[in-house]
Structure 1
Amino acid sequence: MGRVQDKVALVTGGASGIGLSSATLLAKEGARVVIADFNVEGAKEAVNKIKAQGGEAAGIFLDAGDETSIKEAVEFTVEHYGKISVLFNNVGATNLKKDLDVVNMDLDEWDRLMNLNLRSVLLGSRFAIPHMIKAGGGSIINTASMAGFFGDSIRAAYGASKAGVVNLTRYLAAQYGRHFIRCNAVAPGLIFTPAAQNNMPPAVLDIFAKYNALPYHGEPDDIGNTVLFLASEESKFITGQTIQVEGGHYIANPTISDFEEFMKKKQG
């Protein structure tokens, strides 16, 4: 038996990166998976790959900025597979050209990111919870970010929206735990997704690597395996938590790497 055998999972933003990894691993371990993504062709391609590996999945369109589209994704999941056991709220976005510091950011971008990154989590949960209660419980998993815990020179809207995800996760856990519904989040650091590889200059990747405690970048499966754990009964006594999967990037005094370099030069 697989780790999530007979569970039904809705994975939003599941056509690529973290979502694709999570959907693939869930299906491999026995879940029937609905992949919902704005890139519907990518979702269907992911479904074909899962089915080729012996898994069960369906792909649908999702506009996570639209309430009706989110509701329809949940309803499709229940109608297609009879229930929803796992909801992975994984859609998120950022825009480095518009989401700047507080004085200079585009205020329309603030509203867009709050809607896409935070309100979508609220709505997905809002529509899934009644079905989970009827089924006797479930697991909601949200994609937060390390940006929700620390300040930065830009991406104020993104960071604030992800901080909201962290606390909304606690509220969902507190309000629905008595219905056997768990809610947790995963906070990735820099994950070496195709988008990161294609959009981030090597020099920027090197800066992240410099401050990681571990000498390598995270990969989508590092998050996918965490999602799989949170979806499974292995985590049945864990709720309201945000698991930070970030390679130890934030665990030490940020000057430690530079100080070590200074000491090496002094000794040399």
Structure 2
Amino acid sequence: MGRVQDKVALVTGAASGIGLSAATLLAKEGAKVVLADYNIEGAKEVAAALKLEGLEATAVFVNALEEQSIKDAVEFTVDTYGALNILYNNVGGTNVRKDLDIVNMDLDEWDRTMDINLKSVLLGSRFAVPHMQKAGGGSIINTASMGGFASDAIRTGYGTSKAGVVHLTKYIATQYGKDNIRCNAIAPGLILTPAAINNLPAKMIEIFTKYNALPYNGEADDIGHAVVFLASDESKFMTGQTMQIEGGHYMANPTIADLNEFLTANN
């Protein structure tokens, strides 16, 4: 018996990275999983691979910038499997060439970032809640970011939108808790997905490692396992919370890595 046996889960951004990990692990723990992604061919390939393992999965197209597309993905899930018990709002991102400081950032990118990172969470939850109420409850999980807890030189829209996800999570948890609907978020640090490895210079990855409390960065399954926990009854008394899974990046005095180097060099 799996940890989410026979539950129905919708995972957005499921064709790769964190979403792929979460969808795969949920399926392995017994859930019937709908993989929603703009990259529908990629989502179909993953679903087919899971079926070959004897797991239950299917794919659906979603454009997280379009309200109707999000609604259609939710309705497809319910039409296919008869219910919706788990929603993982995972789609997100920004264009770092446009999402700059407040003076220089592209305002159209600000709006797009708010829509894809924050409004999509609102809409996914908005359409999922009535189905979860009919099912007697459910678990909504949102992807925030460590960027929602501290400011940066750029990515103003991204960090602000992710801080919004943290607070929206609390609102959803408060408003629908009596319906046995829980809502929690996960705030990842640097996760070494293929996209991160292919797009980030090695030196930048080294900088993140330097300021982590742990001597390494995260992997997609570090978040995927947390999603399974939040989706399962193991977390049944937990709601409105954001799990910061970032290797202790923000835990200590920010100068500690440089101070340790200084002390080592002068001993």
TM bracket (short chain): over 0.9
What is the deviation of 1:8?
0.2
For residues 157-168 of structure 1, the aligned pairs below 5 Å read 157-168=157-168
For residues 1-268 of structure 1, the aligned pairs below 5 Å read 1-267=1-267
What is the deviation of 1:127?
0.3
Q: What amino acid sits opposite 2:228 in the alignment?
A: L
Segments of 5+ residues of structure 2 without an aligned counterpart are none
For the residue of structure 2 that corresponds to 1:244, the secondary structure is strand
CA-to-aligned-CA distance 1:207-233 (integer Å, 9 cap, x gap): 000011111110000000000000000
What is the deviation of 1:68?
0.3
Task: Give the Cα–Cα distance (whole angstroms) in 2 for the partners of residues 253 and 53 of structure 1.
Answer: 46
What is the deviation of 1:97?
0.2
Q: What amino acid sits opposite 1:127 in the alignment?
A: F
Q: Alignment identity in percent?
A: 69
Q: What amino acid sits opposite 1:78 in the alignment?
A: V
CA-to-aligned-CA distance 1:39-67 (integer Å, 9 cap, x gap): 00000011012112221000011000000
Q: What amino acid sits opposite 2:20 in the alignment?
A: L
Please give the TM-score of this superposition, normalised by the length of structure 1: 0.99
What is the deviation of 1:173?
0.1
Task: Give the Cα–Cα distance (whole angstroms) in 2 for the partners of residues 69 and 240 of structure 1.
Answer: 26
What is the deviation of 1:5?
0.1
Task: Give the Cα–Cα distance (whole angstroms) in 2 for the partners of residues 129 and 219 of structure 1.
Answer: 30
Q: What amino acid sits opposite 2:261 in the alignment?
A: E
For the residue of structure 2 that corresponds to 1:34, the secondary structure is strand
Segments of 5+ residues of structure 1 without an aligned counterpart are none
For the residue of structure 1 that corresponds to 2:266, the secondary structure is helix
What is the deviation of 1:94?
1.2
Task: Give the Cα–Cα distance (whole angstroms) in 2 for the partners of residues 265 and 120 of structure 1.
Answer: 49
Q: What amino acid sits opposite 2:30 in the alignment?
A: G
Task: Give the Cα–Cα distance (whole angstroms) in 1 for the partners of residues 247 and 49 of structure 2.
Answer: 29
Q: What amino acid sits opposite 1:113 in the alignment?
A: T
Q: How many aligned positions are there?
A: 267
Q: What amino acid sits opposite 2:61 in the alignment?
A: F
CA-to-aligned-CA distance 1:166-214 (integer Å, 9 cap, x gap): 0000000000000000000000000000000000000000000001111
Task: Give the Cα–Cα distance (whole angstroms) in 1 for the partners of residues 70 and 127 of structure 2.
Answer: 8
Structure 1 stretches of at least 4 aligned residues deviating more than 3 Å after TM superposition: none
